[in-house]
C-alpha cells in the first residue's frame, strides 16, 4: 500500500539520468543503475549522493556506479560523477525516477463498500475493506487504501492517494496529487462549545476541510473542519505525523510542519514557513510568510516578520536544572534586589565613573 517501498522497477543509464537531472556526467554514459543507496552500502548498480563532508571517507571508498555531487567534491570520488549545483535535490529526483510509485490499477476490491451514489473514476482504485459513502466523487487514478473511509459528498482530485485507514469526514475537498498517510483524520467536527452554566453546549461545525493540490498529511494527524467556513491547507504544504490543526485554521502554501505540533483554532500561518516538531500555537494568531519556528516553540502571539523564532529550555543535568528553576522562581525578587543595589551604589557612581574614565 505504500508504493515507493516496492522494489525498483526502473533501470536508467547514467547518461539518461544526467540528462533528466540536468547534471554534467563524468563517466560512462551507458552504465546502468537500478537503485539508490548509501555510499557505504552501494554496489555496482547503485546511485549515491554526497553533500556532507562527514561522509568523505565513505565517498572515497564507495563501490557505487555513480555519485551525484557538487563540482568542488568531484576530485574525491573514485567512480563516475553527476555534477550539479544542488546534489540533494538532484538525488531526490533521481530516487523518484528509479523508485517510482506503483501504478494505480482501476477498480475496487470485492470487500470494498462503495455507495451506489458515489462517482468513482474507472481508473481509481478502492482498496480492501474501504468505505466510500453517498455522493463522494473520486477522480482519475486516485488510490483509496485498505480500511479507509471516504465520507458522504467528499471530492478527491486526480492522482491523490489515501495510503490506508484514512478517515475523510463528510463533505471534505481534496485536490490533486494529495498524499494522506494512515490513520489521518480529516474533517472531524472542531472543538467548539458554548458554556451553559457548568455544561458545554456543542456548536455545530458546518464548514469543511480543503486540502489543496500537492498537500501531504502525516500518519495520525488530525485536521478539524471549520465552524462556518473552511479549514484550508494550501497547495504544497507538508504536514508530518501526529499534528493537530484546529478548526478554521489556514496553513499557507509550501509551509512544512514537523511532527507533534498543535495549532489552535482560527490561526493562520503564511507561505513557506517551517514549523519545528512539537510547536504549540495559540488560537487566532496571524503568522506571516517565511516565518520559522524551532522545535517545541510556544507561540502565544502573532509574528508578522520573516525570521527564526524560538523558545524553551534545552535539557541539562537534573541537579543543575533544579537549581536553575529554583532561581528562576525568585527572578522577580532578584531583579528587585539588583535595582536596590543600583540605588545604593548610585551615589558612588559619579566618583567611580571619574576614576574609570
> In terms of CB distance, is 57 or 352 closer to its own copies?
352
SS3 200: strand
Give dist(CA 261, CA 269) in Å, integer.
13
Q: Of residues 15, 45, 55, 86, which one binds its own copies by CB under 8 A?
A: 86
Q: Should residue 105 be labelled a site residue for its own copies when binding is judged by CB under 8 A? A: no
Q: Should residue 282 be labelled a site residue for its own copies when binding is judged by CB under 8 A? A: yes
Q: Of residues 142, 183, 210, 231, which one binds its own copies by CB under 8 A?
A: 183
Size of the site for its own copies (CB under 8 A): 144
Are the CB atoms for 156 and 138 separated by under 8 Å?
Answer: yes
Q: Should residue 238 be labelled a site residue for its own copies when binding is judged by CB under 8 A? A: yes
From 63-71, 72-80, 136-144, 188-196, give the range in contact with its own copies by CB under 8 A.
188-196
> In terms of CB distance, is 29 or 200 closer to its own copies?
200
Instruction: Kindly state the smallest distance separating residue 104's Cβ from its own copies, in Å.
Output: 15
> In terms of CB distance, is 75 or 315 closer to its own copies?
315
Task: Given the residues 181, 235, 247, 292, select the one marked as catalytic.
Answer: 247
Which of positions 106-145 make contact with its own copies (CB under 8 A)? 109, 111, 113, 127-131, 133, 145
Chain position carrying cell 492522482: 159
> In terms of CB distance, is 53 or 75 closer to its own copies?
53
Query: Quick one: residue 296, left, alpha or beta (phi over 0 = left, psi -120 to 50 = alpha)?
Result: left
From 15-23, 76-84, 117-125, 200-208, give the range in contact with its own copies by CB under 8 A.
200-208
Which residues are bridge partners to 68 per DSSP?
Answer: 49, 82
Is residue 33 within a helix (H) or strand (E), and if so which, with residue range? Answer: strand 32-33
As to burial, measured by CB atoms within 10 angstroms (0-12 exposed, 13-18 middle, 19+ buried), residue 224 is buried
Q: Should residue 28 be labelled a site residue for its own copies when binding is judged by CB under 8 A? A: no
Q: Should residue 218 be labelled a site residue for its own copies when binding is judged by CB under 8 A? A: yes
As to burial, measured by CB atoms within 10 angstroms (0-12 exposed, 13-18 middle, 19+ buried), residue 288 is middle
Which of positions 299-318 make contact with its own copies (CB under 8 A)? 299-301, 303, 307-318
Instruction: Kindly state the smallest distance separating residue 111's Cβ from its own copies, in Å.
Output: 5
Q: Should residue 164 be labelled a site residue for its own copies when binding is judged by CB under 8 A? A: yes
Q: Should residue 149 be labelled a site residue for its own copies when binding is judged by CB under 8 A? A: yes
Measured from the Cβ of residue 289, the count of other Cβ atoms closer than 10 Å reads 16
From 10-18, 22-30, 83-91, 116-124, give the range in contact with its own copies by CB under 8 A.
83-91
247 included as an active-site residue: yes
Q: Should residue 88 be labelled a site residue for its own copies when binding is judged by CB under 8 A? A: yes
Measured from the Cβ of residue 128, the count of other Cβ atoms closer than 10 Å reads 15
C-alpha cell at 45: 548498480
Measured from the Cβ of residue 195, the count of other Cβ atoms closer than 10 Å reads 8
Q: Should residue 20 be labelled a site residue for its own copies when binding is judged by CB under 8 A? A: no
SS3 298: strand
At what angle are helices 331-356 and 318-328 packed, to 10 degrees? 80
Give dist(CA 197, CA 10) in Å, integer.
65
Q: Of residues 38, 61, 85, 117, which one binds its own copies by CB under 8 A?
A: 38
The bridge status of strand 209-211 relative to strand 231-233 is: parallel
C-alpha cell at 135: 455522493
Q: Of residues 229, 268, 286, 288, which one binds its own copies by CB under 8 A?
A: 229
Q: Of residues 45, 70, 79, 256, which one binds its own copies by CB under 8 A?
A: 256
By annotation, the residues acting in catalysis are 247
Amino acid at each position: 500500500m505504500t508504493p515507493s517501498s516496492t522494489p525498483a522497477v526502473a533501470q536508467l543509464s547514467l547518461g539518461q539520468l544526467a540528462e533528466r537531472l540536468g547534471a554534467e556526467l563524468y563517466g560512462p554514459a551507458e552504465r546502468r543503475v537500478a537503485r539508490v543507496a548509501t555510499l557505504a552500502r552501494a554496489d555496482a548498480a547503485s546511485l549515491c549522493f554526497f553533500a556532507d563532508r562527514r561522509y568523505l571517507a565513505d565517498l572515497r571508498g564507495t563501490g557505487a556506479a555513480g555519485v551525484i555531487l557538487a563540482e568542488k567534491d568531484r576530485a574525491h570520488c573514485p567512480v563516475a560523477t553527476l555534477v550539479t549545483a544542488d546534489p540533494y535535490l538532484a538525488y531526490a529526483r533521481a530516487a523518484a525516477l528509479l523508485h517510482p510509485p506503483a501504478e494505480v490499477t482501476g477498480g475496487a476490491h470485492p470487500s470494498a463498500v462503495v455507495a451506489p451514489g458515489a462517482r468513482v473514476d474507472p481508473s481509481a482504485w478502492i482498496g480492501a475493506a474501504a468505505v466510500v459513502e453517498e455522493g463522494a466523487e473520486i477522480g482519475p487514478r486516485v488510490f483509496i487504501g485498505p480500511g479507509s473511509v471516504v465520507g458522504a459528498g467528499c471530492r478527491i482530485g486526480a492522482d491523490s492517494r489515501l495510503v490506508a485507514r484514512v478517515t475523510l469526514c463528510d463533505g471534505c475537498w481534496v485536490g490533486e496529487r494529495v498524499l494522506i498517510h494512515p490513520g489521518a483524520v480529516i474533517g472531524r467536527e472542531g472543538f467548539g462549545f458554548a458554556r451553559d452554566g457548568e455544561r458545554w453546549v456543542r456548536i455545530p461545525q458546518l464548514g469543511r476541510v480543503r486540502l489543496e493540490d500537492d498537500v501531504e498529511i502525516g500518519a495520525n494527524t488530525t485536521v478539524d473542519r471549520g465552524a462556518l467556513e473552511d479549514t484550508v491547507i494550501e497547495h504544497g504544504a507538508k504536514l508530518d505525523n501526529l499534528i493537530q490543526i484546529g478548526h478554521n485554521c489556514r496553513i499557507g502554501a509550501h509551509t512544512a510542519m514537523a511532527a507533534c505540533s498543535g495549532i489552535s483554532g482560527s490561526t493562520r500561518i503564511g507561505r513557506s514557513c517551517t514549523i519545528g516538531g512539537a510547536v504549540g500555537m495559540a488560537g487566532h494568531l496571524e503568522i506571516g510568510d517565511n516565518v520559522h519556528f524551532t522545535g517545541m516553540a510556544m507561540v502565544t502571539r502573532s509574528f508578522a516578520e520573516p525570521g527564526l523564532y524560538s523558545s524553551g529550555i534545552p535539557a541539562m543535568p537534573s541537579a543543575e536544572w533544579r537549581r536553575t528553576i529554583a532561581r528562576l522562581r525568585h527572578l522577580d525578587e532578584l531583579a528587585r534586589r539588583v535595582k536596590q543595589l543600583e540605588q545604593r551604589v548610585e551615589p558612588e557612581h559619579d566618583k567611580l565613573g571619574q576614576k574609570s574614565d
